[in-house]
Amino acid sequence: MKTLVVYLMAMPDTPALAHAAVEAGADMIELGFPFSDPLADGPVVRRAGERSLAAGMRTSRCLDVLAETRALVDVPLIPMTYASIFDAYGWDRLEADARAAGATSFIVPDLPADMHTGLRRVQLAAPTSTDERLRLAAETSDGWLYLVTVTGTTGARSALAPTLAPLAARARSTTKLPLHAGFGISTPAQAREAADLTDGVVVGSSAVEAAEQGVTELARFVGSLRAALDA
């Protein structure tokens, strides 16, 4: 079965949204901790981060949301945020507090694999990654390797990037870790196409847009992704 990872921005209603997503078929939840200068985020996730910050979602409150989500779901929960958040809060302290709140791992998109190696995290590999960097990411990644399908930010695309197939092939020759593709996967059809090349997909911007419409719409959207992956 292909893995479905759904990204949600930390907000007061995120625990209920995450529960609905899991009930509809999500296998993992990425929980965004907002940052004021999110270099990897496209317009949808960036705006969600701005709303989150405006709602008072600082790191300590995001940790509360993480704990509240953990109380409702029994799937991997992976905070996704930027290195500056760790710098401000304290690397060891944030890792310890997040794991105590229920974090399974972490994603830090602006942190190279050879920096802060003590933080076990899911590493990212992009189409521009050299074979050497790809091997390093695979060797140090926590549980699975995140394949970034495009060179750019998150966000919906009209079609699956052609760069995914060669990246997935290079990754397959490098590691036995599961490969999950993300960035630019926004529809059930794109999710199915990406899953044909990998072990699963990560859906962010479209999930965030659905979540903004409430629990019912998010559950419908996640269910459509699950059906496509299972077809």
Active site residues: 30, 41
Cβ atoms of residues 52 and 41 within 8 Å: no
Return the half-sphere exposure (C-beta side, CA atoms, 13 A cut-off) of residue 176: 0
Question: How far apart (Å, rounded) are the C-alpha atoms in residues 106 and 55?
Answer: 23
Chain centre to alpha carbon of residue 86: 17
Place of tokens 């970034």: 148
Q: Which tokens sit at 157? A: 């695309």
Q: What does DSSP assign to residue 33?
A: P
- What is the maximum alpha-carbon separation in the chain? 45
